[in-house]
Amino acid sequence: MTNVLSFGKIRSWSFGRQGKTFYLPVCNMPAIVFPSSPTPGQLYNPDPGVSGITQYRWNNTKGTWDAVLSTVSLGSPNQGAFNDYQWPATAGAVGRQLTTDGSGNLSWSGEADVSIQALGLSTLIDGVSSVYTLTELGTSTFFTPTPSTNIVVFLGGVPQTPTGYSVTGNQITFTDVPPAGSTFYAISNITV
């Protein structure tokens, strides 16, 4: 008896020739042919060495090949995840994020900052001035978009075209004086 995987489910098929690859009649794709005499806990493929390959473990009690969950066991040589990354040996501290050096080596690094900053103004729109100071929304911390065009502005909930304002440092200057009491809101991307 050869164990064959088809359509994500494990099925047992009886064939006269062991160890051959057979094609499933419905989809004409090669089936996975498992070892015909597995031992309890045996892994197939023991170390595929290729990203995206599912690994299976023989369950002797049920007599089935069960898919190994794609989890990472930190610190083990195989690490239970079949991809090209080298995972760190520890779980890392709270608030840390997993980063790569670009060569597939993963490590823990500091928290990432938010990638979008909501902005407000340091004073209410008075209907007289056309120049206002940008702040991080809900704070008195001044904010300078970098570059100065890295901002989307809303007045009264209506998006403004970039020709309706200009930004220099943390100052926004409107082409026309906004009506008194207009609500201001803006967003800007920030470097993470």
The tokens for 81 are 């995840």
Domain locations along the chain: 116-189
User: 183: which 2 tokens?
Assistant: 């609500």
Q: In terms of pLDDT, which residue wins out, 42 or 91?
A: 42
pLDDT in tens, 105-128: 888 888 766 688 999 999 999 999
Residue 93 has pLDDT above 80, yes or no: yes
Average pLDDT across the chain, whole number: 77
Task: Give the pTM.
Answer: 0.44
Distance CA(7)–CA(11), nearest Å, equals: 10
Residue with token string 């299976």 = 56
Q: Is the pLDDT of residue 77 over 90?
A: no
